[in-house]
Structures are given as structure tokens and as C-alpha cells.
Amino acid sequence: MAAPQFTAPIAPVNSPAGASPSLRSLFPDIEPACITAVITHDLKAADLYKLDTRVKDSEPTYSLSSTGTFEMNVSRHKAYKVLSSILFPLHTYFTILTAHLPARTAATVYFYRYLTHLATLASEYEWATVLEYHTLFVNRRRNDMLAGSYDGWGASDIGLLSSHVYPHRKQISLSPKGAGSTKKSPSPSSEPCRNFNAGKCESPCAWKRPHTCLAPGCGKEHPFTQHK
């Protein structure tokens, strides 16, 4: 993502009594306490599932909490196993913030930049590492928003990307998929690393595959791009 231009901080919007009736009326399917947590920046990244109205369509189970109240078990939603499990409630999160903020702010632009950024990362890198990046990124932005700054949503965090995401690019295929091919694929432990052969994996291999050339009959310790 391109670095955003500097914008003056937005004065924090005080909501001592929680979400206003007008804001609550815009999101009738979201618990008022969750709306309040969003606009006061108390909602953690791990709790985004609370904004996912699809949770209500599932068959919940209940357990007794330490305070003696019954709580809905939404563990499968907390897992965030796929991109859509994040994007759906994240859209709602940003919509609530946009409705709460003063008109004509650049925050909405930054919100949509982050949605695009997240989807792009998920298409190129292992989802578990993208989710870890997302969790840390969102919680950092919560601190920024407490000070009235929203432009951080419009720029990627290079430090987090380098340590959590970039080493875990998805495996790529260097050969076309042959329809009807009956050749047995080599076992994961013996097949040369395809990312290494594309020049996109450092030693030691993150997938524990041999860093040897994919060229038939070669097997030397250089990538396919350097095969002669």
C-alpha cells in the first residue's frame, strides 16, 4: 500500500454513555456493547467475530462462565480459518467507525486500503501468518485511534510483514497441471522446494523440503533459475 499523506488527528469523539441511539439504530443486529467497544477502540482484533451476524445463524452451544452466566460458544468463529471470516466482520467494524466519525474525513479511504491490503496478502502468503500480522496490526491501530490518528490504516507495517509474513509465501507450481496425468507425485519430504527453485525461499527451508534443482536428473544445490 502507498504511504498515506499526513492528516491532522481527529479529535476523539466522546461517548461516555456508550453508542448513541441513532448509531445503534444503524446496526440493529449488533449488540450495543459491541458498538460501544468499536467506537471507544476497546474491541480487540481477536473479538471481531462479535460483529459477524452470521454467528447468529449457526447452532450455538452454551457454557457456564466464571461469573455464573451462560455464554455462547463461538470457538469455530474465533479460529478465523479463512479470509472471509475476517473480512465480513471487519467491513462492519469499519462501517461503524465511519458512521461515528465526523463527516468528510480521510479515514474511510484508509479503511478500504487496509481491506485491499489484507486480501492481497492472503492471496500470496500462508493464511496463518497473515492472520497473525492482521491481529498485531489492528491492535496497534487501536492505540493510534485513541489519539485521533487513523492514517495508519492506509500504510503497511514493513516491520511486521518482514518478521511474520514475507518468509511464508505460498508454494507455487512451476509446471502446468496435466489433466489426466497418472504420474505419482513425490512425497512432501523428498520433493524439491518449488519456492526455492523460483528464488523465493531462503535456507533452511520453511517447509523442510530439499533445496535442490527441479530440473530432471539434476538434483544439485542450486535453483532451477540457475540451471544450465
Q: Decide: 225 and 199 in contact? Cβ < 8 Å.
A: yes
Torsion-angle region of 208 (φ positive above 0: left; ψ -120 to 50: alpha; else: beta): left
**Could you identify the residue written with the cell 441511539?**
21
pLDDT of 47 strictly over 80: yes
Model pLDDT, residue 133:
96
Q: What is the pLDDT of residues 157-182, one digit of tens each?
A: 999 999 999 999 998 765 555 555 45
pLDDT of 115 strictly over 70: yes
pLDDT of 72 strictly over 60: no
Distance from C-alpha of 45 to C-alpha of 38, rounded to nearest angstrom: 10
pLDDT of 85 strictly over 60: yes
* pLDDT interval class at 202 (50, 70, 90): confident
Model pLDDT, residue 27:
95
Q: Is the peptide bond before 204 cis (omega within 30 degrees of 0)?
A: yes
pLDDT of 16 strictly over 50: no
Q: What is the pLDDT of residues 127-162, one digit of tens each?
A: 999 999 999 999 999 999 999 999 999 999 999 999
* pLDDT interval class at 212 (50, 70, 90): confident
Give the pLDDT mean for 37-60.
Answer: 83
Distance from C-alpha of 14 to C-alpha of 210, rounded to nearest angstrom: 57
Backbone angles phi, psi at 72, to 5 degrees: -75, 135
* pLDDT interval class at 71 (50, 70, 90): low
- Average pLDDT, rounded, for the chain: 80
Cα dihedral: 108, 114, 117, 123 (round 10): -110
Grid coordinates representing 18 are 456508550
